Amino acid sequence: MPVINKPEDLKVTHQTDGWRETLVADRHTFNHAVMAARRWSFDPGASSPKFEHGEKEAFLYVISGSGTAFVDQESFILEDEAFLWLEPGDRYYLEAGSQGLEILSAVAPGI
C-alpha cells in the first residue's frame, strides 16, 4: 500500500553544528520497509562527521545545493541531482558548498 509522509510527519533524529538528519523511512516507520532513507541538511560550509559504511550498499542523492563527498582517498563534486553510489566498507564524509547541501541517503535492506 502506498504511503505518503509530509515534511511535518518526519522526525529530526540528529542535529548538531550546521547539519541535521531527518528519518524518512526505516523498518520501524513502516513494518514492511526493506530500506532505510534519511535526509541530511547542511548549512553552507558545514561538514558531516566521518562515516564508515557497513556491509551494505547505499546511495546519496543530491536534492539541492552543492558540496564535496570525500570517500576513502578520493573526492567527488556533488551538485543538484548528482547520485553517489557507496560500496560496503567505504569511509566518507561530506562538506557543503556555499549554498548548503540537501542529501537523500538510502540503504537496503532497512536497518
Interval 1-60: pLDDT, tens = 666 667 777 777 777 889 888 877 776 666 665 678 889 999 999 999 898 877 888 899
**3 in a domain, yes or no?**
no
Residue 99 belongs to domain spanning: 11-107
**1 in a domain, yes or no?**
no
Other CB atoms within a 10 A radius of the CB of residue 25 amount to 18
| Arithmetic mean of pLDDT, 82-86 | 94
**57 in a domain, yes or no?**
yes
**6 in a domain, yes or no?**
no
**94 in a domain, yes or no?**
yes
User: For the chain, what is the domain count?
Assistant: 1
CATH number at residue 64: 2.60.120.10
Q: Are strands 11-16 and 83-86 parallel, antiparallel or unpaired?
A: unpaired
Bridge partners of 14, per DSSP, are 21
**87 in a domain, yes or no?**
yes
**21 in a domain, yes or no?**
yes
Contact 79, 67 (CB under 8 A): no
**40 in a domain, yes or no?**
yes
